[in-house]
């Protein structure tokens, strides 16, 4: 039954994309580990890590697309969930250092030693077990999203008000995590990781595995998202996005739908953060910065909002561009990035994927009539959700 459900949720594009991700998850590590460094097919380790990082960003953008593209919730605080997942992972990794820290203290991490802490704060307990950390990676962002969403959606906070309070949330967390008294390492954050699940975190094999894990996590998240948006539940979400009052009058309870989606999305962001941390080797409160959340929105918009695949492409492209530009044109790269954002909004208002689809559709509609199940959505949506109807419909 489940497989039937999953199969139903797949359209051709999504399944191709999942297949590509799965293939990448195996081929890239293989090219990195098995092919000799002399060969032109060899992928250097740093590139593996770099692209692994992009994949986690892509997962974060996908999570945002689920709430923004399909539910009309513009979260300007998604980086908070990402960072919380990252911190949960970071805490596990710090506990794995054991007595290999600079002070050789078997009980306390280095930053606690030099701040003269005598014992470990209670919230660090349990993080020496991977299963516990893994649970927390899902539970903490999920719980925060649940509580936050429960409060916000129940009192019908919508639109820009919702966006700004999500921003307030991530900003408050940023300030809180900067405080050294919090016991998360303050501004320096958590770093100097050694092992993950008993393997050296810097080894080539570990890097390749983390890359594979990111690709697979992204594929699974894509599968789940696709399943959600293609189910009846997903149709209600789109209805909410485009005409919340109308949907409510039809007897649906918007707050429940939004809450579930928001929580799932936050958990995905948490997983992305958890995969991100071992690949970059540091987690620090800077990840909570409101600007980071805005960037996620931008990746999603560049790729194409409400398309699931778009955010993946957007996140990868923008970050790849950033990597190249900061190295090649360190003085002027911000001009290029800024111009890219302006140009995208002006010339590709539906993002890369959205525009592709539009082009292809205008060609196909000339050939054959629209499919009957194609959802016609009111174009004059409220809350500024003015996506073109065709990209909403999950075909």
What is the nearest approach in angstroms of another protein to the Cβ of residue 3?
23
Which among 137, 128, 41 is positioned nearest to 88, based on CA atoms? 137
* Separation CA 244–CA 284 (nearest Å): 38
User: Cα separation of 202 and 204, whole Å?
Assistant: 6
Contact, 7 vs 211, CB < 8 A? Answer: no
**Which residues ranging from 71 to 110 are in contact with another protein (CB under 8 A)?**
74, 99-106
**Separation between Cα atoms, residue 307 and residue 226, nearest integer Å:** 10
- 85 or 101: CB nearest another protein: 101
Identified binder of another protein from the candidate list 93, 352, 377, 394, rule CB under 8 A:
352
Distance CA 334, CA 68 (A): 26
Least distance between another protein and beta carbon 24 (Å): 8
What CA–CA distance (Å, rounded) separates 208 from 310? Answer: 25
Q: State how far the Cα of 389 lies from the Cα of 123, in Å rounded to an integer.
A: 47
Pick the closer one to another protein by CB: 45 or 231.
45
62 binds another protein (CB under 8 A): no
Q: Which of 220, 281, 375, 389 binds another protein (CB under 8 A)?
A: 281
The reply to whether 7 sits near another protein by the rule CB under 8 A is no
Q: How far apart are CA 204 and CA 92, in angstroms?
A: 21
- The CA-to-CA distance between both ends of the chain, in Å, stands at 21
The site for another protein, by CB under 8 A, has a size of: 109
In the complex, minimum distance from the CB of residue 115 to another protein, in angstroms, rounded to a whole number: 6
CA 4 distance to own-chain centroid? 27
Asked if residue 13 binds another protein (CB under 8 A), the reply is yes
Token couple for 143:
């719980």
Residue 143 engages another protein in binding (rule: CB under 8 A): no
Q: Does 12 sit near another protein (CB under 8 A)?
A: yes
250 binds another protein (CB under 8 A): no
Minimum distance from CB of 282 to another protein (Å)? 5
Binding mask 153-192 for another protein (x = CB under 8 A): -xxxxxxxx-xxx-xxx-xx--xx-xxx-----xxxx-xx
Q: Least distance in Å: CB of 220 to another protein? A: 17
- Of 33 and 132, the one with the shorter C-beta distance to another protein is 33
Q: Least distance to another protein from the beta carbon of 1, Å?
A: 28
Among 3, 36, 37, 116, the residue binding another protein under the rule CB under 8 A is 116
> According to CB under 8 A, which residues from 34 to 53 bind another protein?
44-47, 49-51, 53
In whole angstroms, what is the distance from residue 349 CA to residue 355 CA? 8
Which region among 89-97, 151-159, 234-242, 259-267 touches another protein (by CB under 8 A)?
151-159
Residues in 319-348 at the binding interface with another protein, rule: CB under 8 A: 320, 323-324, 326-327, 330-335, 337-342, 344-346
Which pairs count as long-range contacts for 127-130, CB under 8 Å and 24+ apart, including other chains?
127/88, 127/91, 127/92, 127/94, 127/95, 128/92, 128/95, 128/96, 129/92, 130/92, 130/197
CB 67 within 8 Å of CB 255: no
Phi then psi for 46, rounded to 5 degrees? -65, -30
Interactions with another protein, residue window 208-237 (CB under 8 A): none
Question: Which of 245, 256, 360, 365: binder of another protein (CB under 8 A)?
Answer: 360
């Amino acid at each position: 039954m489940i497989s039937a459900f999953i199969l139903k949720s797949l359209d051709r594009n999504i399944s191709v994309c999942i297949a590509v991700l799965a293939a990448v998850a195996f081929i890239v590590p293989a090219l990195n580990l098995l092919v000799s460094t002399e060969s032109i097919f060899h992928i250097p380790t740093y590139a593996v890590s770099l692209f692994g990082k992009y994949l986690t960003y892509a997962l974060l953008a996908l999570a945002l697309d689920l709430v923004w593209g399909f539910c009309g919730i513009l979260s300007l605080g998604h980086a908070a969930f990402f960072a919380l997942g990252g911190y949960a992972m970071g805490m596990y990794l710090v506990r794995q250092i054991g007595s290999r820290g600079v002070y050789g203290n078997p009980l306390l991490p280095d930053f606690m030693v030099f701040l003269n802490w005598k014992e470990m704060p209670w919230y660090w307990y349990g993080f020496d077990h991977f299963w516990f950390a893994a649970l927390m990676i899902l539970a903490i962002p999920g719980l925060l999203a649940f509580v936050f969403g429960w409060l916000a959606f129940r009192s019908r906070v919508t639109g820009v008000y919702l966006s700004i309070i999500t921003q307030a949330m991530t900003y408050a967390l940023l300030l809180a995590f900067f405080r050294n008294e919090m016991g998360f390492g303050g501004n320096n954050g958590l770093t100097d990781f050694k092992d993950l699940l008993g393997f050296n975190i810097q080894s080539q094999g570990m890097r390749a595995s983390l890359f594979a894990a990111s690709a697979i996590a992204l594929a699974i998240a894509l599968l789940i998202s696709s399943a959600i948006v293609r189910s009846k539940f997903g149709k209600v979400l789109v209805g909410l996005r485009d005409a919340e009052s109308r949907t409510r009058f039809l007897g649906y309870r918007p707050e429940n739908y939004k809450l579930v989606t928001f929580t799932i999305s936050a958990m995905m962001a948490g997983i992305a953060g958890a995969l991100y941390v071992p690949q970059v080797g540091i987690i620090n409160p800077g990840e909570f910065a409101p600007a980071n959340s805005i960037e996620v929105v931008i990746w999603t918009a560049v790729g194409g909002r409400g398309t699931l695949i778009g955010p993946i492409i957007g996140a990868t492209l923008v970050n790849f561009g950033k990597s190249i530009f900061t190295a090649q044109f360190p003085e002027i790269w911000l001009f290029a990035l800024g111009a890219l954002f302006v140009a995208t909004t002006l010339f590709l208002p539906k993002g890369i994927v959205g525009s592709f689809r539009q082009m292809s559709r205008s060609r196909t509609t000339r050939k054959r009539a629209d499919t009957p199940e194609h959802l016609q959505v009111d174009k004059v949506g409220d809350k500024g959700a003015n996506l073109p109807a065709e990209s909403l419909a999950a075909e």
